[in-house]
Amino acid sequence: MIPNLLRGLFGVTVVLLIVAHLGFVLIRSVPGNPFEDAKALDPAIVANLQERWALDGSLFEQYQAYMGGLLTEGDLGPSFKMRDVSVNEILAQSLPVSATLGLLGLFVALGIGLCAGGLAALRPGSWWDTSVMGAATLGLALPNFVLAGLLVLLFVFHWQLFPVAGLDGPLSLVLPALALGLPYAAANARLFRTGLLEVLGEDWIRTARAKGLSPGAVLVGHAARPALLPVVHGLGPALAAILSGSLVVEQVFALPGLGAHFVEAGLNADYNLALGVLLVYTLMLGLANMSVDFVASWLDPRIRL
């Protein structure tokens, strides 16, 4: 367990370092000085910033300054475009919003997906099964932003059940979480149903039925654990997709999360901020994938990490 954990963390660190270096090279390949078009900036401030980040120095000195700050203090540097704000401060404000949204999206993807898939597998061929699988196939082809548009159209403008946009109470997170999670709920429903149908044909399920367990108890107590395996294996890519989906969902619903900052930073050429957010995403994804591996080995002890 501990060696595996350490190995996983080592892998995440390596990827983080690779991404940080790639990002650094990319950003410094933009000609000019990041502060040259910040018109109103005090020359003294510019001088300070240039000294701190060695912007006058050679590429290697800049590299030392950036990586030194990153590795020793976890300092991601100042925002190039927003005044008096460091990337760390921006992250501290927006990470909770994005994390909440991501977890809610995951909850939708797993909760709705597993329930729908499980119920469909109980009665294969029934109208419920057919309609769930039809909806799931459709859901797989709906990009997050198309789904978000349809949800806004129906539940904000037509029935006026939810606020338009912005972060204002738990109600304002319902539609974003649905837009984020439903496409992956569709994928999970399909995976779980297929997994369950396969498992339900096994001998030991017949044994469980023969000893008098109800269909529900067989499903939850015996069949669910092995049938969850394909879902868990699909969770790695799904988590990546949920994270990237949160980019568009945050933009559609004007939520002040990481994704909004990332896209804005990209559009405004605020490269330090973009690289900082990229590193946070990389870290979250790495840790998430690691946990997926652990869950998979817990579900099926034959899988070695």
Partner 1 sequence: MSDAPPRDAPPRDALPRPARPGLWRRLRRRRGSLAALTVLLLFVLLAIGAPLLPLAHPAETNTARASQGPSPSWTERSAEVEREAADAHPWASAVRTQLFGAHALQGALGSDALGRDLAARIVWGARVSLAVALAATLVSVLLGVAYGVLAGFVGGRVDQVMMRAIDVLYSIPFLFLVILVVSVLRDERVAAAVQSWGLDQLSLLFLVIGAVSWLGMARLVRGQLLSLREAEFVTAARALGVTPLRLAWRHLLPHLGGIIVVVLTLTVPRVMLFEAFLSFLGLGVEPPGVSWGLLASDGLAALTPVSRSWWLVVFPGLALAASLFSLNLLGDALRDALDPRTGRNGKPAG
Residues that bind partner 1 (CB under 8 A): 11, 14-15, 18-19, 22-23, 26-27, 29-32, 137-138, 140-143, 145-146, 148-150, 152-153, 157, 164, 240, 243-244, 247-248, 251-252, 262-263, 265-267, 269, 271, 274-275, 277-278, 281-282, 285-286, 289
Nearest approach, Cβ of residue 15 and partner 1 (Å): 5
Which sign does the torsion angle of CA 132, 135, 136, 137 carry?
positive
Rg (CA), the chain: 24
In the complex with partner 1, the residue whose CB is nearer, 114 or 151, is 151
Query: Which residue type sits at 181?
Result: G
Nearest approach, Cβ of residue 36 and partner 1 (Å): 11
Nearest approach, Cβ of residue 191 and partner 1 (Å): 13
In the complex with partner 1, the residue whose CB is nearer, 42 or 203, is 203
Q: How far apart are CA 287 and CA 281, in angstroms?
A: 10
In the complex with partner 1, the residue whose CB is nearer, 152 or 199, is 152
SS3 category, 86:
strand
Q: Quick one: residue 54, left, alpha or beta (phi over 0 = left, psi -120 to 50 = alpha)?
A: left
Nearest approach, Cβ of residue 304 and partner 1 (Å): 17
In the complex with partner 1, the residue whose CB is nearer, 13 or 214, is 13
In the complex with partner 1, the residue whose CB is nearer, 224 or 273, is 273
Nearest approach, Cβ of residue 152 and partner 1 (Å): 6
Q: 14-23 burial string, b = 16+ CB within 10 Å, else e?
A: eebeebbeeb
In the complex with partner 1, the residue whose CB is nearer, 232 or 285, is 285
Nearest approach, Cβ of residue 252 and partner 1 (Å): 6
In the complex with partner 1, the residue whose CB is nearer, 51 or 202, is 202
Read off φ and ψ for residue 174, nearest 5 degrees. -65, -55
In the complex with partner 1, the residue whose CB is nearer, 97 or 148, is 148
Nearest approach, Cβ of residue 44 and partner 1 (Å): 27
Nearest approach, Cβ of residue 213 and partner 1 (Å): 27
